[in-house]
Amino acid sequence: MRVSTGWWLMGQRPEFLFVTCQVGAERAVKFELAGRWPRFRPAFSRPGMLTFKLPPDDRLVADFDLRSVFARAYGFSLGVVSGSDMVRLARAAWALYGGRPCRRIHVWPRDTAPPGDGGYEPGMTREAREAWGALHACCPRPGELAPDADAPDRPGRKGEFVLDCILVEPDQWCVGYHRVRDVSSQWPGGLIPLEPPPHAVSRAWLKMEEALHWSGFPITAGARCAELGSAPGGSTQALLDRGCEVMGIDPAEMHPAVLAHPCFTHVRARVRQVRRRLFRRVRWLVADMNVAPRCTLDALEDIVTHPEVNVRGIIAMLKLSQWAVAENLDRYLARVRSWGFNVVRARQLRYNRQEICFAALKRPFVRRRYRWT
């Protein structure tokens, strides 16, 4: 934990933390935080949004790492304002914000739909845009805002202080702040906005594209990838669109548009039926199989620990058949580290349904050469 001096000197330590998450993931967030931050006490919560009372002597800085898989966004909570007049709400929000520096304003609604039922699509609702407009217009020190902070959906820059406004209800706003620390915290609610291209054959394009942005992995033109569970092919397309070579392994049919791509090869089989030698040239392994997490991990382990295989990074989706499976995540990630991946992170992405994504990397990566005998 890092020690903050700034707010402390101002005598304005926030007492609460807010977290927004997918509807249904609240229990998983509480479980994670109880383990990692045992002194945080659950307080006010709604589906898709939780708050925690911080211990009186906490010294968290505004860009601290909550180390949560299920929190899409988090920050310090300053309180709730309610009412039907938007201008009054905006003024009350700024009053709560006090004299803190502010480079940007983030507004988003808490998630209200169950996963897969349109939750967080679109993230920026009409109400959120209107609330953002009112907050922007009432900003007491507009000269402090970043020059490009003149629209509600622009990404923040590392180090910027952000006023957070979560629409608990359209007429009830939770006001807080955070400091941008990574890709997710750049965006309102941690919701990276993506538009699938017209040629995308499945929604999985969004999932893979988001995973690529979030992980920041250098998967660029010419990268050799294999995807376990590739049909019909949306996530494969996200890789092909980047100029990667992709081998898709799936017993199901690929979409004809993907099959026709010159950089795609379909191995129509279950992973276990595929000879490991086929993975010798593969540097990036992607998995999106509709099987239990243990089966995905068994399949990945079998490939990446094979002596002839030299994979640099993995991006994999783990399906949570029940939310209780979330309680095993630390063990799953420890298992991935045991394969030699020293950078391992996980997140429930905006476009994940009842599943999570993990990204694992070997850094530095040592290229091995084999004699192909």
Q: Site residues (CB under 6 A) for ligand SAM?
A: 202, 204, 228-236, 249-252, 270-271, 288-291
Return the number of the residue (124 or 271) whose C-beta is nearest ligand SAM.
271
Residue 105 or 228 having the CB closest to ligand SAM: 228
Contacts of 27 (CB under 8 A, 6+ apart): 323, 326
Nearer to ligand SAM, 111 or 288 (CB): 288
- Are 271 and 300 spatial neighbours (Cβ–Cβ below 8 Å)? no
Nearest distance from residue 253's CB to ligand SAM, in Å? Answer: 9
Nearer to ligand SAM (CB atom), residue 258 or residue 336: 258
Task: Decide if 255 contacts 316 (C-beta within 8 A).
Answer: no
Residue 83 or residue 251: which is nearer to ligand SAM going by CB?
A: 251
Shortest gap between Cβ of 336 and ligand SAM (angstroms)? 18
User: Minimum distance between the CB of residue 347 and ligand SAM, rounded to whole angstroms?
Assistant: 18
Residues in Cβ contact with 348 at an 8 Å cutoff, skipping those fewer than 6 apart: 21, 22, 25, 69, 70, 72, 355, 356, 357
The two beta strands, 161-169 and 172-179, are antiparallel
Question: Which residue in 16, 163, 7 sits closest to 78, CA to CA?
Answer: 16
Q: How far is the CB of 216 from ligand SAM (least distance, A)?
A: 21
- In the complex, what is the shortest distance from the CB of residue 251 to ligand SAM, in angstroms, rounded to a whole number? 6
Shortest Å, Cβ 348 to ligand SAM = 16
Q: Are strands 104-109 and 284-287 parallel, antiparallel or unpaired?
A: unpaired
The DSSP line for 3-69 is PP-HHHHHT----EEEEE--TT-HHHHHHHHHHH-TT-EEEEEETTEEEEEPPTT----TT-----S
Would you say 91 or 242 has its CB closer to ligand SAM?
A: 242
Rounded Cα–Cα distance for residues 41 and 54 (Å): 7
Rounded to a whole number of angstroms, the minimum distance from the CB of residue 191 to ligand SAM is 21
Smaller CB distance to ligand SAM: residue 228 or 318?
Answer: 228
- Quick one: how far is CA 183 from the chain centroid? 9
The CB-of-19 to ligand SAM minimum distance in angstroms stands at 27
Nearer to ligand SAM, 221 or 252 (CB): 252
Inter-axis angle of helices 234-241 and 204-215, nearest 10: 50
In angstroms, rounded to a whole number, what is the distance separating the alpha carbons of residues 316 and 207?
A: 10
Give the bridge partners for 74, in sequence order.
Answer: 19
